[in-house]
Amino acid sequence: MPRISSFYGITIAMYFSDHAPPHFHVIYAHREASVRLADLSIMEGALPSRASRLVRQWARLHAQELATNWAKAREGLALDTIPGLE
């Protein structure tokens, strides 16, 4: 699972050839969740509310990069690193 970003103890990753719909995975404080790209809703798992807000804020800022990485992952190409929140 390639890590594409990390900030405030939150790790963002995508799997190669992962199932639809387009999404990314979040790991934070021994919790995991998958977040749908289309509406940034949590598909599986759970996150503390503060982590969830930070992830959504980050994802809104990097929507295009996330979509590009999803397409690359589906093709088995190397994923781009995306800057975290500062």
Category of 67 on φ-ψ map: left (φ > 0), alpha (ψ -120 to 50) or beta:
alpha
* The residue type at 6: S
- pTM of the shown model: 0.94
pLDDT at 18: 87
pLDDT in tens, 10-63: 999 999 878 899 999 999 999 999 999 999 999 999 999 999 999 999 999 999
* The residue type at 14: M
Which sequence spans correspond to the domains of the chain? 3-74
Bridge-partner residues for 16, per DSSP?
none
